[in-house]
C-alpha cells in the first residue's frame, strides 16, 4: 500500500463516516450548534495567530500542527460528528493560508487523519460519558473520565495514521516526520494540547464565559508547540536528523562522566564512508544526500535508545556507547559496518564504512577529547588496513588517568 493510497482512503472515510455515524456521537449541544461551531473555528484561528506572533510571522514547511488537533477534539466532545468536517477543514485551510507550507496532498492527508481521530474520540466519549451535553455535571468525575479516554483514543488513532504516512513514503521525504514521531516530547505535548481542547469544551458546556480565562493557556500551549522544533533546529543536523557534533559531544561528555562515576565502561566509535566522493560523482549530490539519510536510519536502527549518534561532518559519524565494554563495542561497530555494506541506495548504489573504536575501562578517568583523538586514530588505522573494516584500540596508557577509588 502506498502513502497516496492511504491518504485517498482516509480522505474518503473522513468525508463519509462523520455523516454516517452522527447518531453514535454527541447528539445534544449545551449551546446552539450555530454558535459552538464558529466559536471553535475562532479559537483555532486565535491559536494560529498566537503562533505566528510568537514566531515573528515566519512560515514553516515542517512543524507539528498540534494546536489544530485541539479544536477537532473539542468539536468531537460538544458537537455532532458532521461538525468535525468544517472545524478541522477551516482550521487547516487557515493555517495553510497563514504560512504552514506543506505539499497539498500531505496537508489534505493530515486534515483527514485529524477528522478520523476526532470521530473515534467522539464515539469513545459517547460510550463513557453518555449523551448529556454538560461535561461538568455533578462533580465532573464522569466527564473527566470521558475526556481522558477520548483524548487517549484520539492520540492513538492519530499516531497510527501519521506513522503510516511516515513509513509508507520515501525515507528522504519523511525524515522530519519520522524523527518527530520518535521523540517522546511529541506525544507529551500533543496529549497536553488535546487536554486543553477538552478543558475548553468542558468549560464551554458548564460556564462558557470562563473560556476568557483560558486565553493565556492557549498562548502557553503554542509556546510548547514551538519549543520542540526550535530545540531540534539547534541540536539536530538538518539533512540526517542526527545530533550535530557539538550537541553530540556535550551529551556524550555527560554520559561519560556518569559512567565513570558508576565505574562502568564506555566506548566511542568514529565512522567514515569509504570513497564517498566516487559515489557522489556517480549518483550526484542528491543521490549522496539520499545515501546519508538512509545510512542515518540504519545507524539509529542498530543502536540502543541510550546510545548517542551524531554527524561529525560530511560523511563522518560518531557514536557514544555508555556501559559498553571493548568486546561489546567492537561487536556493535561490526554490526554497523555489515548493515551499511548490505544496503542498496539509489537503485544500485553500494557504500561501505570504516570504523574506529575506543573503549575506556570501568573505573578509569579519561579526558573525553583524548578519547576522541584515539577514536580518530583507530579510524585512520581502519582506512590504512584496507577500508570497510573495524579497528579497535584503547587510549594509550601514558595518557590514561588514575583508577577511580571505590
* Torsion on CA atoms 282, 288, 290, 293, rounded to nearest 10: 150
With b meaning 16 or more CB within 10 Å and e meaning fewer, what string describes 27-58?
Answer: eebbeeeeebbebbbebbbbbbebbbeebeee
C-alpha span between 90 and 84 (Å, rounded): 10
Distance between the two ends of the chain, CA-based, in angstroms?
A: 58
Contact assessment for residue 267 and residue 324, using Cβ atoms and an 8 Å cutoff: yes
C-alpha span between 94 and 390 (Å, rounded): 53
Dig out the grid coordinates for 394 from the structure: 584503547
The question of whether 374 is a catalytic residue gets the answer: no
Residue of 49, 315, 328, 331 marked catalytic: 315
Say if strands 390-393 and 316-322 run parallel, antiparallel, or are unpaired. unpaired
C-alpha span between 213 and 216 (Å, rounded): 7
Contact assessment for residue 71 and residue 87, using Cβ atoms and an 8 Å cutoff: yes
Report the residue count for the chain.
406
* Torsion on CA atoms 102, 106, 107, 112, rounded to nearest 10: -160
Segment holding 313, helix H or strand E: strand 308-313
Taking residue 322's Cβ as centre, other Cβ atoms within 10 Å add up to 19
Q: Show which residues are catalytic.
A: 315
Amino acid at each position: 500500500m502506498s502513502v497516496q493510497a492511504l491518504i485517498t482512503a482516509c480522505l474518503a472515510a473522513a468525508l463519509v463516516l462523520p455523516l454516517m455515524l452522527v447518531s453514535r456521537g454527541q447528539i445534544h449541544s449545551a449551546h446552539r450548534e450555530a454558535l459552538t461551531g464558529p466559536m471553535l473555528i475562532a479559537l483555532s484561528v486565535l491559536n494560529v495567530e498566537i503562533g505566528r506572533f510568537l514566531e515573528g510571522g515566519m512560515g514553516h514547511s515542517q512543524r507539528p500542527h498540534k494546536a489544530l488537533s485541539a479544536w477537532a477534539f473539542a468539536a468531537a466532545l460538544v458537537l455532532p460528528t458532521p461538525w468535525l468536517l468544517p472545524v478541522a477543514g477551516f482550521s487547516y485551510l487557515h493555517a495553510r493560508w497563514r504560512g504552514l507550507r506543506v505539499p497539498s496532498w500531505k496537508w489534505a492527508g493530515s486534515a483527514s487523519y485529524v477528522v478520523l481521530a476526532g470521530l473515534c474520540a467522539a464515539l469513545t466519549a459517547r460510550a463513557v460519558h453518555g449523551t448529556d451535553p454538560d461535561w461538568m455535571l455533578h462533580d465532573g468525575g464522569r466527564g473527566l473520565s470521558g475526556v481522558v479516554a477520548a483524548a487517549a483514543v484520539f492520540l492513538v488513532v492519530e499516531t497510527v495514521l501519521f506513522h503510516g504516512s511516515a513509513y509508507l513514503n520515501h525515507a528522504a521525504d519523511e525524515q522530519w516526520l519520522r524523527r518527530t514521531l520518535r521523540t517522546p516530547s511529541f506525544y507529551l505535548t500533543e496529549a497536553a494540547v488535546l487536554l486543553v481542547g477538552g478543558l475548553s469544551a468542558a468549560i464551554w458546556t458548564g460556564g462558557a464565559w470562563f473560556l476568557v480565562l483560558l486565553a493565556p493557556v492557549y498562548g502557553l500551549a503554542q509556546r510548547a508547540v514551538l519549543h520542540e522544533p526550535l530545540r531540534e533546529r539547534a541540536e539536530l543536523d538538518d539533512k540526517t536528523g542526527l545530533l550535530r557534533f557539538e550537541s553530540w559531544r556535550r551529551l556524550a561528555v555527560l554520559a561519560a562522566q556518569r559512567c565513570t562515576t558508576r565505574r562502568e565502561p564506555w566506548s566511542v566509535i568514529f565512522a567514515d564512508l569509504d570513497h564517498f566522493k566516487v559515489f557522489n560523482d556517480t549518483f550526484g549530490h542528491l543521490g549522496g544526500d539520499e545515501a546519508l539519510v538512509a545510512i542515518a536510519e540504519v545507524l539509529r536502527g542498530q543502536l540502543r535508545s541510550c546510545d548517542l549518534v551524531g554527524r561529525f561532518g560530511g560523511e563522518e559519524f560518531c557514536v557514544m556507547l555508555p556501559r559498553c565494554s571493548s568486546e561489546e563495542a567492537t561487536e556493535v561497530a561490526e554490526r554497523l559496518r555489515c548493515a551499511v555494506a548490505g544496503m542498496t541506495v539509489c537503485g544500485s548504489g553500494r557504500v561501505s564504512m570504516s570504523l574506529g573504536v575506543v573503549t575506556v575501562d570501568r573505573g578509569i578517568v579519561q579526558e573525553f577529547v583524548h578519547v576522541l583523538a584515539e577514536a580518530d586514530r583507530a579510524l585512520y588505522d581502519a582506512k590504512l588496513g584496507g577500508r570497510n573494516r573495524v579497528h579497535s584500540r584503547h587510549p594509550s596508557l601514558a595518557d590514561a588517568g588514575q583508577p577511580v577509588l571505590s
